[in-house]
Structure 1
Amino acid sequence: MKEKSYHPSIWRNTVFMKLFASYSVSMMGNYFDAIAIMIIFGYVWQAEPIMIAFIPVAIALPQALLGQFAGVLTDRMNKVKLMMIADILTALLTLLLMVTPNPWLALIVISMRSVVNVIHFPAQQGLIKQVVGEEHLVKAFSLNGMMMQLSKIIAPLLGGMVAGAASPQLCLLINAIAFSLSSLILFSIYRKQEKPDFFLSKTENNDQMSFWQSWREGWGLVLQSRILFVSFCFSFTGLLFIQMIDVQFITWFRDLAPTRPEMIGWLFASSGFGAVVMIMGLNRFKAFRSYGWLLGGSMLCIGIGFAGVGLLKPGFDLWLPVLYGIVVGLGVGLYTIGFQYIIHKNTTEDSIGRVSGISNSIASLCVVLAPLIGGALVQAFEAGAVFTGVGAICLVLGIIGILFQKFLWAETVFLKVSSN
């Protein structure tokens, strides 16, 4: 296993900062893309709720089917090269998405794009594990998390204005340009790597194991570690309920405020603001004392925000969805940092790709199944009632995680927490 280069500050870690720049550009493009797709489906094509529910399914199904196998590949192949190729293909498919004439063809292109993107999450997590020292892990997660949430604030606001002033297709073009720039940044890392296999994380055991042996070993790591197993079960139970209605915001606000499509952008932006506030607070710590507050607190905040959105009535005060979005964002910030931290603290450099791939695969399976259930529920009942019910379930789950954390995460090592 290669030794990490010591950097007194994460800002002096050249490889990580280039990786962070690539992530920042592509993430900004992603949220321009998300706004464009929601506006095209919801307002241009006037798609039914069940059709809108197929959007996350088209994104997540390839991730669910291929995510864990992508994790095995990233533990065996050059991570930077894989990410660079994926970014180029993503840019080309986004250009194709611009000219699709109907929802069904758009869903096919979105699925194709998800196939090439399946490598990103495990490859990125593996690279962070390789190039960032343990003392800087929380800062690395915080930087990535803050950039993702800032993208949620900036891109929806700008994307809404661009889509209104020109067309949502222009937002798709911005995403294609962003992924092209990301691939160029990754190429600069690939070109200057110290040796051809520098970004391969393999040991003698990995060299001797077959692909399927590596895959089984990854599952063994998750099932044998109580911390990982409980964290996976807790997180993905919450995610299953959240994803039932996460994509139905457009349906609910289309009923509540049919002449205010920009409310979706405000909600996304306020959620991003809340997450940034939480992540900045967590950035003060070098380690975390317990995991129940991270994951349980996340579900608690998300439950409160979702339930509040579900209780909105026509003619609501405009500050209310902004407030609920901020509360949801606080929970997202806790989850963003907490779950990544748990995975990194309980894996090695040679297993992080497989465990991250399994995580991505299970999360994507939730995204495949849950929106279909949620879409059916919203068509059968009022969307507000479904939002309120899901919020209540998340609220209860969060309380359980906080109150019973010593039992659930019995193997948690109580680490010293120090602020900068």
Structure 2
Amino acid sequence: MEKSLRRSRWRLLTENRDLSLFLSASLVSQTGDWILDTGMAFQVYLLTHSTLASAAVMLATQIPQVVLGSVAGVIVDRHDRRRMMIGTNVISALVIWPVALVQDSGSVWIILVVAAVTNCVSPFFSSAEASLLPGLARRPENFVTVNALHAQVRNVARLIGAALGGILITVGGLTALAVADTASFLVAAVLVVAIRHRLASTPTRRTGLLAEWRAGLAIVRHNRVLLVLAAFFLLRGVGEGAMGTLFAPFVNDVLGAGGSVYGAILAAQAIGGIVGGLVITLAGRRASPRRLFAWGTLAFGILDLALFLYPLIDASSWPAVLLIAVVGVPGAALNAGMLTLFQSTTGDLTRGRVFGLLVSAENATMLLSTLLAGTLAGSVGIIPVISTQGVVYVLTSVIALTVLSRRRRSGGVLVSEPV
């Protein structure tokens, strides 16, 4: 049986042409995103020496996600996901170019506009991507493996893109970044063009954006699993906002380390995610998505708390590198479990609007947390505020272990199981 599972997994990863194209497109596009994001963040601070300017870039990326996330999901449900991914890649390639015109602090506003426009497009791509992937997995029993593999691709892109972004901004400035990101979007678009998969079903009669948005909200309200995922997205936004705002100050002010240690920690995080994704990929069909999500979230939260609280005893930097690498395993588990639960409890025709609602909610709490984190850290300290991330993951695990603890059938379909 074990040999059969390995053979089946090998066929899934090597003989599924559409899945290979999808993952390749994701790798190329996200590597370009990391190149641009890393280089732009560095260049904005270099030109302005202003943390406010850096915060403005973050807001320019988050606000469009909050405003358009839900709407994008509804629109994606109305159209072919593959064409939506192609179109958003091409549009993104076209709007990147103005960043090459930035020469000094007086033209940094161009970066803000580009960041805002690209993030207006981003929700349409992410909803289409999330909606298309389950069909490429072919069977529900493949969801965990495919989701873990997709997460590995994201971490590889992060590792490569962040390193290249730093190099390119040093060697060729913002022009080099624009060229690299444009090329990544166009290559990704070509790869998606080659995908043959189409939805077997067709969209139902359109009832208006607001009515369809409400229908998506009703789907979430009446599904126990999706309600748990909604709580997870909301709480994760709080933690990610605090983490994104305060992690660099944590490394610099709490650990007393410099940029090299900061880079090592980020690299360790990506490597840990790759290793974790490999572990979950090998587990494949044997892994219960509910257990992966609930217990992975608990382990992630505990390790997160250890990462942010250990400097109270010893401010050495090496434990941070180790802990953030180890947290990659439960991180991969919870993400694979979470995505599989989402895919298994939503249909092809409504998956986009549900995903858009979840992501929009997460970005809203992330935006609020980003705005509050800096102020609160100044009054109560960095460690208590950044530890919020670990606390919300532990809280989410308690919710998941409690709510998903019984079997429940809806229309003959099992939507919950013991965890």
Give the TM-score, by structure 2 length. 0.83
- Aligned residue runs from structure 1 range 128-143, under 5 A: 128-132=133-137, 133-143=139-149
Give 2:156's aligned residue. 150
Q: Which runs of 5+ in 2 are unaligned?
A: 1-9, 408-414
CA offset at residue 80 of structure 1? 1.5
Aligned to 2:270, which of 254, 272, 283?
Answer: 272
- Aligned residue runs from structure 1 range 96-107, under 5 A: 96-100=98-102, 101-102=104-105, 103-107=108-112
Aligned to 2:62, which of 60, 72, 82?
Answer: 60
Give 1:261's aligned residue. 259
CA offset at residue 24 of structure 1? 0.8
CA distance 1:186–1:309, shift in 2 (3 Å): farther
Q: Which runs of 5+ in 1 are unaligned?
A: 1-6
AA of the residue aligned to 1:37: M
AA of the residue aligned to 1:76: R
Give 2:7's aligned residue. none
Give 2:83's aligned residue. 81
CA distance 1:79–1:277, shift in 2 (3 Å): same
AA of the residue aligned to 1:393: T
Aligned to 1:303, which of 288, 305, 317?
Answer: 305
AA of the residue aligned to 2:81: K
1:180-205 deviation per Cα after TM superposition (whole angstroms, max 9, x unaligned): 2111212233xxx47xxx348535xx
Q: Secondary structure at the match of 1:75?
A: helix
Give 2:402's aligned residue. 407
- Greater shift in the superposed pair: 29-38 or 19-28: 29-38
**Conserved 8 A contact 1:149-1:276:** yes
**Conserved 8 A contact 1:306-1:328:** no
CA distance 1:158–1:363, shift in 2 (3 Å): same
Give 1:112's aligned residue. 117
Q: Name the CA distance, whole Å, in 2 between partners of 1:411 and 1:95.
A: 53
2:166 paired with 1:160 = yes
Give 1:370's aligned residue. 369
2:45 paired with 1:42 = yes
CA distance 1:209–1:309, shift in 2 (3 Å): farther
- Aligned residue runs from structure 1 range 230-241, under 5 A: 230-241=228-239
**Conserved 8 A contact 2:237-2:363:** no
Q: Name the CA distance, whole Å, in 1 between partners of 2:111 and 2:35.
A: 16
Give 2:217's aligned residue. 219
CA distance 1:240–1:129, shift in 2 (3 Å): same
Give 1:337's aligned residue. 336
Q: Secondary structure at the match of 2:284?
A: coil
Q: Name the CA distance, whole Å, in 2 between partners of 1:353 and 1:243.
A: 24
AA of the residue aligned to 2:325: I
Q: Name the CA distance, whole Å, in 2 between partners of 1:329 and 1:211.
A: 38
Give 2:93's aligned residue. 91
**Conserved 8 A contact 1:59-1:111:** yes
Give 1:3's aligned residue. none
CA distance 1:169–1:375, shift in 2 (3 Å): farther
CA distance 1:200–1:36, shift in 2 (3 Å): farther
CA distance 1:118–1:89, shift in 2 (3 Å): same
Q: Name the CA distance, whole Å, in 2 between partners of 1:300 and 1:91.
A: 40
Q: Name the CA distance, whole Å, in 2 between partners of 1:210 and 1:200.
A: 23
Q: Secondary structure at the match of 1:207?
A: coil
Q: Secondary structure at the match of 2:202?
A: coil
Q: Name the CA distance, whole Å, in 2 between partners of 1:99 and 1:54.
A: 19
Give 1:393's aligned residue. 388
- Aligned residue runs from structure 1 range 243-258, under 5 A: 243-253=241-251
CA distance 1:258–1:416, shift in 2 (3 Å): closer
- Greater shift in the superposed pair: 391-400 or 74-83: 391-400
1:82-125 deviation per Cα after TM superposition (whole angstroms, max 9, x unaligned): 11111112122222123234443322210011112221111011
CA offset at residue 31 of structure 1? 1.3
2:25 paired with 1:22 = yes
- Greater shift in the superposed pair: 158-167 or 62-71: 158-167
CA offset at residue 292 of structure 1? 1.8
Give the TM-score, by structure 1 length. 0.83
Q: Which has the higher helix share?
A: 2
Give 1:4's aligned residue. none
2:353 paired with 1:354 = yes
Q: Name the CA distance, whole Å, in 2 between partners of 1:44 and 1:262.
A: 21
CA distance 1:131–1:396, shift in 2 (3 Å): closer
CA offset at residue 22 of structure 1? 0.8
Q: Secondary structure at the match of 1:119?
A: helix
**Conserved 8 A contact 2:405-2:416:** no
AA of the residue aligned to 1:115: C
CA offset at residue 79 of structure 1? 1.3
CA distance 1:264–1:353, shift in 2 (3 Å): same
**Conserved 8 A contact 1:304-1:391:** no
Q: CA RMSD in A?
A: 3.0
CA distance 1:188–1:52, shift in 2 (3 Å): same
2:124 paired with 1:124 = no
CA distance 1:161–1:211, shift in 2 (3 Å): closer
CA offset at residue 311 of structure 1? 8.0
AA of the residue aligned to 1:19: F
Percent of aligned positions with the same letter in both sequences?
Answer: 18
